[in-house]
């Protein structure tokens, strides 16, 4: 059986979503790799991406009753994930939010299925964690329970302190963050591909300088 995480990284590399070279992050750090999920920007990419999200969710074993996509990047992601899960026999309701409340028609800020039960938040990556915090508040305000966060890549990178944004979210809300792939997966990906080994040393050095420990499972409350 193939490792879907490594398959995902091959897919991301082929779509130019995952790049290796010299980049500067928003935090001003010089990074030897770059990941831009916004470049999954056609129908075939979204269909495949939804499949990887679905596989990561199922592999995690985290129980949920519904999916939620934070506006705006989370909207196509949650729809693609819901479609992929339905194709595999698990039909979950999904919803997303508006940036501004609508005062006519159905009104409110939530579009789609009413928020209820255990809700999995689907997003691209976690940087500052702002969209996750807003999503958690919205879900709880509707009487539902956030079950966790599902993202494409965990950079496993420290913020201003010793913890990463992912670890801060897990500690703050006591819920897991599930990633299709992590920086450790990226390092294994490089090690297995001779044509990319020139980048392995730089990524390892970046990991040593800015990285956090490997993620540990967090039980949902």
In the CATH hierarchy, which fold is given to the domain comprising 4-210?
A: Rossmann fold (3.40.50)
In angstroms, the CA 122 to CA 92 distance is 13
Q: Is the pLDDT of residue 137 over 90?
A: yes
- Is it the case that residue 94 has pLDDT exceeding 90? yes
- Give residue 1's pLDDT: 39
Distance separating alpha carbons of residues 61 and 64, to the nearest angstrom? 9
Cβ neighbours for 174, distance < 8 A, ≥ 6 positions apart: 218, 219, 220, 221
Establish whether 73 is a catalytic residue.
no
Average pLDDT on 65-93 reads: 97
99 given a catalytic annotation: no
The residue extents of the domains of the chain are: 4-210
CA distance 23 to 80: 29
Of the residues 26, 99, 102, 199, only one is catalytic, namely 102
Q: Is the pLDDT of residue 216 over 60?
A: no
Q: What pLDDT does residue 215 have? A: 46
Q: State the distance between the two ends of the chain, measured CA to CA, in whole angstroms.
A: 33
**For residue 129, is pLDDT > 80?**
no
Query: Which member of 26, 99, 104, 199 is catalytic?
Result: 104
Give tens-digit pLDDT for 138-193.
999 999 999 999 999 999 988 778 888 899 999 999 999 999 999 999 999 999 99
């Amino acid at each position: 059986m193939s490792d879907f995480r490594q398959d995902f990284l091959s897919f991301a590399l082929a779509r130019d979503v995952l790049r290796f070279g010299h980049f500067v992050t928003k935090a001003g750090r010089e990074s030897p790799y770059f990941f831009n999920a916004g470049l999954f920007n056609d129908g075939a990419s979204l269909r495949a991406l939804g499949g990887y999200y679905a596989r990561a969710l199922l592999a995690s074993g985290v129980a949920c009753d519904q999916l939620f996509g934070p506006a705006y990047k989370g909207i196509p992601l949650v729809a693609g994930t819901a479609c992929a899960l339905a194709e595999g026999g698990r039909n979950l309701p999904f919803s997303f939010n508006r940036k501004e409340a609508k005062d006519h028609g159905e009104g409110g800020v939530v579009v789609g299925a009413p928020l209820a039960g255990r809700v999995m938040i689907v997003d691209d990556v976690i940087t500052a964690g702002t969209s996750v915090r807003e999503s958690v508040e919205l879900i709880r305000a509707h009487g539902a329970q956030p079950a966790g966060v599902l993202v494409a890549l965990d950079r496993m990178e420290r913020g201003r302190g010793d913890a990463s944004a992912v670890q801060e979210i897990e500690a703050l809300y006591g819920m897991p963050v599930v990633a299709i792939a992590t920086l450790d997966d990226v390092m294994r990906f490089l090690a297995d591909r001779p044509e990319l080994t020139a980048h392995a040393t730089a990524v390892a050095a970046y990991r040593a300088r800015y990285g956090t420990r490997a993620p540990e499972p967090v039980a949902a409350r």
